[in-house]
Amino acid sequence: MEYKFSDIEKKWQQRWEEQNTCKVESDPSKPKYYVLDMFPYPSGSGLHVGHPLGYIASDIFARYKKHCGCNVLHPMGFDAFGLPAEQYAIQTGRHPAVTTAENIKRFKEQLGAMGFSYDWSREVQTCDPKYYKWTQWIFLQLFKSWYNKKTDRAESIDGLVKIFAREGNVNVDAATDFDTAFSEDEWNDFSEKQQQEILMNYRLAYLSYAEVNWCPELGTVLANDEVKDGRSERGGYPVVKKKMRQWFLRITAYAERLLKDLDTLAWSDSMKEMQRNWIGRSEGALVFFDLPDYNVQLEIYTTRPDTIFGATFMVLAPEHPLVEIITTPEHRQQVAEYLQYVQSRSERERQAEVKKVTGAFTGALALNPFTGRKIPVFISEYVLLGYGTGAIMAVPSDDERDHAFATHFNLPIIDVIDKGMYPGAGREDRVGKLINSGFLDGMEVADAIEAIINEIERRGIGRRMVQYRLRDAIFGRQRYWGEPIPIYYKDDIPYPLDESELPLLLPQMDDFKPSPDGEPPLAKLKNWNYEPTTMPGWAGSSWYFLRYMDPHNDKEFLSKEAEQYWQDVDLYIGGTEHAVGHLLYARFWQKFLYDRGYVSKPEPFKRLVNQGMIQGSSKFVYRISGSEKYVSFNLKDGYEVTPLHVDVSLVKNDVLDIEAFKKWRPENKDAEFILEDGKYLCGTEIEKMSKSRLNVVNPDEIIAQYGADTFRMYEMFLGPIEQSKPWNTHGIDGVFKFVRKLWRLFYDESKFLVTDAPATERELKVLHKTIKKIRDDIERLSFNTCISTFMVCVNELTDLKCSKKTVLKDLVVLLAPFAPHVAEELWEALGNKGSVTAVPYPEYNQKYLAETTFEYPVSVNGKLRTKIELPLDLEQSKVQEEVLASDVVKKWLEGKPPKKVIYVPGKIINIVV
C-alpha cells in the first residue's frame, strides 16, 4: 500500500472537525497549559511559508502537552483592525469590513490545511463588536483610574475625587505632570469644567496637547514604535512633529514595574534588553540654576551631577518655554533666525545630521551654584524638549556633544575628572577621580555623585531623580478602521459612555479618506457626537490573550472562573518585531487590570520564544539598458544592466524558464537573451519575503506536492526556530523520504506488515533512546534535532526489519505532535480506536538505556589514542589497572609511569604523562 498523504490528511482534518477533537474547556482535574501564537493581521496576500514557522512550533508543543495530560488552551484569532485594509479600501473602493472578512476566510483555509490543533470555537476577531465592546470597556477603566504612587498601583478616580473633596491634592502622590496645589475648599469651589480638567491630568487615559508624530500621507498620528528613521513603519511615509490634542495612555506610570518585572520572565536576553532600552531608566539629579537677571530658575536634569564644577554653559531645547522670556533684545534676531532654521528641518534631516553643531546664544546668563560663575545660556536642537526637563548644564570636558558645541562657539572647557588609567573613558563609564571641583576633589566618581546630590538637596537647589525615556502612548488615530473611543462631549468636556451603552459601534461609512489637516473621518458624520478619533492597531492586541480564556462572555470581558483557571500564557511564540510595541503594551494592560483586581497575574506571558523570519531568495534577470535584451548572470559584467525581480516560480535551480518568462508579462514577449552554456542563469539575493519582490513561496503548493506532515517537519528541520533563514525547497525530499520509510515499516506493496511478535532488547534500546531524546528536545523546543532523531530511529528500525507493534505504537505517539495526520492513520492501522491525541506520551525505561559497559576513548595528554571497553561505573584504581595493562597504552607510555589518570565515568579516560 502506498502512502497517500492527501487522502489521509483530508480524512483526519475532517474527523477532527466532526469530533471536536481540538475543543477545550476548563477542567480543574487537569493542570492547564496555555500555548499562544501572535495572532496574524489578515493581509490580502494570504500566508506564505514564513508565517507558519512559529505556528508549527507552537502546535507541536501544544499537542505534546496534551499527550502529557495537560488541559491545553491553544487558540487562534485575527488582529483585524488596521491601516493596510483601510489604505486598500481607499485605493479600490472596497470596504475594509468586506476585504477583511475575505482575507480571514482565506487564512483559515490555509491554516486548516496544515493540521493545527486550534480550538476554533474560541476564535476572536478584534474588529468584531462583541470583541471590541470589551476593548472599549478596558479603555473606560483606564479613563476612570489614576496611578497612586504611594500604593504603587492604579486606583479608581472616584476615590481620588473623594480625597480632593476631603483634603485637596496636597497629600496626593500621583503619576502626573500636574503640579498646582489646591485645598479641599478650592476643589469644592471649582466649576464642573475646572474639576474635569484637573482630573484629566490624573487619568490613565487622558487628553493632552503634545508634540506628536504626524504622518500627513497617512493622515494620522503614530506612536513612537510605529516610526522608524523618521518615516512611518507602514508605508514608509515622512513623519513630522506636530502639536495636537490627543488621547494618551499613561504607560509611564508603570515604567519601573515594567522594567523590574522583566527579571521574572523566561524571555530571551535580547528581547528583555530591547524593552529595557526602550524604557530607558537613568538615575541622576534635578538641579535648579538661577538666572540672576530674571525672576526664574532653569531646571536641568543630569546623570552626572558630580561634574557640575565643569558646567561652563547651559543649553535649552529650541522649543523650551523659557526661550521666549530670557532672550535679550540684542539676541532676539539671532534666536528667531535659529528657531526658523530648526522649524524648517524635517525629522529625517535632523536625524541624518546629528554630528552638525548648530545653536544660538540667548544673551541670558545663569549662575553656576557651585563655581559661582556666570555662564551663558544657549539654545540648540541637540537638546530635546521631550527628555528630562528639556534643558541641560553643559560639561564640555566630559560630554562629547557639549565638547563639540564648546569648541564651535569658543566656550571655556574645565577638566573636572582625572581619568587616571582609563584615558579613553566617556561620561557613561563613570570612572576616575574628581579635580578642580572644590570639596569633591579626590573623590571617585560614584562617591562624588552621592556627595554632590546630598549637598544639592541640603541647599535646596535640586533633588535626586530617576528619569525614563519611555513616553506616554498616543492612543488616538485620525482614521476610520479601528475601535471608536467610547467618549462623548458636553460643553467641550469629555465624558465616558455608560458601560451599558457599549459597544459604541463603528458607523458604516463609504468615504473615509484621511484629510491632510488632521480631521478624522468620523468627524465628517453629522450625528456623531462621540470622540472622532479611533483607537490604534495595538488596542485590540493588548488583551486578546485574555479573551481567549472566555471568548463568548457578554457580561464580562473575562469571568473570574475562567481567569482563575487559565491565568496566564505559559508559552508565547511570535516575531521580534513586536518587542517594544505589542509586548510592552500588553504587559502594561495586564498590570493595569491586575491593579484593578480583574486578573490575578501581574505578567501575561511567562515564556516567550521569537521565531526567526523565513526570508525569500529573490531571483533577478539583467536587462541591458535601453533594450529588450537580457544577459545571463555570469556574463552581465560586460554590459550596463538593470537587475529586475523575476517571479521565483519561473526559475528552477537558477535557470530561467525562458518560454514561461515570455508569457509571464506582455512586455516580455519579444525579449531576447544572451545565454551561457545554452541556459539563462538568474542572480539570487536573500530578502524579506514579499509580494513586491516576487519571491513568495506559498505553503499551499508545498502541501499539495508533499503533504502537510512533510511540510510541518521540513519547516522544523530547517534549523532552530529562533534563527532566520532563507527558504529553499532543496532538502524537503529528505523529510518526505523519512515519512515514506516509516510508512514502509507498516506496509509493503500489498500487505500490512505489523506483527505481535515481542520486541528484542536491541529494538527496545532503539525505541527508548529515541523516546528520551525526543522528550528532552521538545522541552527545550529543539524541534530540528527531534526530526533528526526520528530519522535515525526509523533508519535503525528499517535495518532491523522491525515491524513490531509494541515498538511502532510508541513511535507513532511520539511522532504525533509533529506529523499528526500520518500518526492518526497509523495509530488506527495498529487497531486502536479514537484519536491518538488522547494517548499518553511514551515514557522511556531507564532499563533499556543503561549500558553495563562503555567503550571508553583513551587519550594520552588529551590526544585520542585508542578505545577500550570497560564496565561503566568502575573504581578509579581498577580503571588505572585495566588501562595500564593494555598493550597499546603501554606503547604510548614508553615504559614511564603516568603522572595522572583522569577518568570520567561514561565519558573519557585521559592519561597524563
Partner RNA sequence: GCCCGGAUGGCGGAACUGGUAGACGCGCUGGACUCAAAAUCCAGUGGUGGCAACACCGUGGGGGUUCGAUUCCCUUUCCGGGCACCA
Within residues 102-131, the interface with RNA by CB under 7 A covers none
Q: Which is closer to RNA, CB of 150 or CB of 408?
A: 408
Q: Which is closer to RNA, CB of 195 or CB of 859?
A: 859
Of 9-17, 33-41, 489-497, 904-912, the segment contacting RNA by CB under 7 A is: 904-912
Question: Per residue, what are the HEC states of 599-659?
Answer: CCCCCCEEEEEECCCEEEEEEEEEEECCCCEEECHHHHHHCCEEEEEECHHHEECCEECHH
Instruction: Write down the least CB distance from residue 868 to RNA, Å.
Output: 11
Q: Which is closer to RNA, CB of 468 or CB of 488?
A: 468
Tell me the residue type at 799: D
Instruction: Write down the least CB distance from residue 3 to RNA, Å.
Output: 12
Instruction: Write down the least CB distance from residue 679 to RNA, Å.
Output: 15
Q: Does 907 bind RNA (CB under 7 A)?
A: yes
Instruction: Draw the binding track, 384-403, toward RNA (x: CB under 7 A; -: no contact).
Output: xxxxx-x-x------x-x--
Instruction: Write down the least CB distance from residue 384 to RNA, Å.
Output: 4
Q: Does 4 bind RNA (CB under 7 A)?
A: no
Q: How far apart are CA 748 and CA 728, in angstroms?
A: 31
Tell me the residue type at 582: H
Q: How many CA atoms within 13 Å lie on the side-chain side of 797?
A: 31
Q: Which of residues 257, 304, 591, 821 is near RNA by CB under 7 A?
A: 304
Burial 372-381 (b: 16+ CB within 10 A, else e): eeebbbbbbb
Q: How far apart are CA 890 and CA 562, in angstroms?
A: 71
Q: How far apart are CA 886 and CA 891, in angstroms?
A: 9
Contacts of 238 (CB under 8 A, 6+ apart): 215, 216, 217, 230, 231, 232, 346, 347, 348
Q: Which is closer to RNA, CB of 13 or CB of 710?
A: 710
Q: Which is closer to RNA, CB of 167 or CB of 855?
A: 855
Instruction: Write down the least CB distance from residue 231 to RNA, Å.
Output: 12
Q: Which is closer to RNA, CB of 526 or CB of 730?
A: 730
Q: Which is closer to RNA, CB of 534 or CB of 610?
A: 610
Q: Does 483 bind RNA (CB under 7 A)?
A: no
End-to-end CA distance of the chain: 62
Within residues 511-550, the interface with RNA by CB under 7 A covers none
Within residues 419-448, the interface with RNA by CB under 7 A covers 428
Confirm if 446 and 430 have CB atoms less than 8 A apart: yes
Q: Which is closer to RNA, CB of 202 or CB of 278?
A: 278
Q: Does 723 bind RNA (CB under 7 A)?
A: yes
Of 6-14, 70-78, 714-722, 804-812, the segment contacting RNA by CB under 7 A is: 714-722
Closest CA to 621 of 669, 670, 655: 655
Please identify which residue in the block is written with the cell numbers 507602514: 234
Q: Does 851 bind RNA (CB under 7 A)?
A: no
Q: Does 864 bind RNA (CB under 7 A)?
A: yes
Q: How far apart are CA 716 and CA 59, in angstroms?
A: 12
Instruction: Draw the binding track, 259-288, toward RNA (x: CB under 7 A; -: no contact).
Output: ----------xx--xx--xx-x-x-x----
Residue 351 DSSP label: H
Q: Which of residues 134, 301, 338, 605 is near RNA by CB under 7 A?
A: 301
Confirm if 882 and 874 have CB atoms less than 8 A apart: yes
Phi, psi torsion values for 742, nearest 5 degrees: -60, -45
Secondary structure class of 208 (helix, strand, coil): strand
Q: Which residues pair with 553 in a beta bridge?
A: none
Q: Which residues pair with 495 in a beta bridge?
A: 488
Instruction: Draw the binding track, 580-619, toward RNA (x: CB under 7 A; -: no contact).
Output: x---------------------------------------
Q: How far apart are CA 163 and CA 187, in angstroms?
A: 10
Q: How many CA atoms within 13 Å lie on the side-chain side of 350?
A: 18
Q: Does 855 bind RNA (CB under 7 A)?
A: yes
Q: How far apart are CA 67 and CA 778, in angstroms?
A: 12
Confirm if 688 and 616 have CB atoms less than 8 A apart: yes
Give how far Cα 800 sits from Cα of 193, 739, 746, 814, 836, Å.
86, 17, 14, 19, 26
Q: Which of residues 117, 576, 611, 837 is near RNA by CB under 7 A?
A: 576
Instruction: Write down the least CB distance from residue 86 to RNA, Å.
Output: 24
Q: Does 567 bind RNA (CB under 7 A)?
A: no
Closest CA to 483 of 58, 82, 40, 54: 82
Instruction: Draw the binding track, 308-327, toward RNA (x: CB under 7 A; -: no contact).
Output: ---------x----------
Q: Does 782 bind RNA (CB under 7 A)?
A: yes
Q: Does 734 bind RNA (CB under 7 A)?
A: yes
Q: Does 408 bind RNA (CB under 7 A)?
A: no
Q: Which is closer to RNA, CB of 601 or CB of 744?
A: 744
Q: Does 788 bind RNA (CB under 7 A)?
A: yes
Q: How far apart are CA 444 and CA 60, in angstroms?
A: 55
Q: Does 806 bind RNA (CB under 7 A)?
A: no
Q: Which of residues 552, 555, 730, 833 is near RNA by CB under 7 A?
A: 730
Judged by CB under 7 A, the number of residues near RNA is 79
Within residues 193-252, the interface with RNA by CB under 7 A covers 224-225, 228
Confirm if 320 and 391 have CB atoms less than 8 A apart: yes
Please identify which residue in the block is written with the cell numbers 463568548: 552
Q: Which is closer to RNA, CB of 98 or CB of 352?
A: 352
Q: Which is closer to RNA, CB of 465 or CB of 808?
A: 465
Q: Which of residues 448, 718, 778, 815 is near RNA by CB under 7 A?
A: 718
Q: Which of residues 112, 168, 369, 720 is near RNA by CB under 7 A?
A: 720
Within residues 346-385, the interface with RNA by CB under 7 A covers 350-351, 353-354, 356, 381-385
Instruction: Write down the least CB distance from residue 377 to RNA, Å.
Output: 14
Phi, psi torsion values for 674, nearest 5 degrees: -105, 115
- Is residue 451 within a helix (H) or strand (E), and if so which, with residue range? helix 445-459
Q: Which is closer to RNA, CB of 370 or CB of 661?
A: 370
Q: Does 303 bind RNA (CB under 7 A)?
A: yes
Within residues 120-179, the interface with RNA by CB under 7 A covers none
Tell me the residue type at 602: P
Confirm if 696 and 689 have CB atoms less than 8 A apart: yes
Of 323-331, 366-374, 540-548, 735-743, the segment contacting RNA by CB under 7 A is: 735-743
Longest dimension (CA), the chain: 105
Q: Does 725 bind RNA (CB under 7 A)?
A: yes
Instruction: Write down the least CB distance from residue 885 to RNA, Å.
Output: 20
723, burial (CB in 10 Å: exposed 0-12, middle 13-18, buried 19+): exposed
Q: Does 876 bind RNA (CB under 7 A)?
A: no
Closest CA to 320 of 301, 339, 348: 339
Of 660-668, 704-712, 750-758, 781-789, the segment contacting RNA by CB under 7 A is: 781-789
Q: Which is closer to RNA, CB of 159 or CB of 386?
A: 386
Q: Which is closer to RNA, CB of 423 or CB of 626?
A: 423
Of 49-57, 209-217, 576-584, 643-651, the segment contacting RNA by CB under 7 A is: 576-584
Q: Does 568 bind RNA (CB under 7 A)?
A: no
Instruction: Write down the least CB distance from residue 190 to RNA, Å.
Output: 34
Q: How far apart are CA 478 and CA 82, in angstroms?
A: 12
Q: Which is closer to RNA, CB of 353 or CB of 457?
A: 353
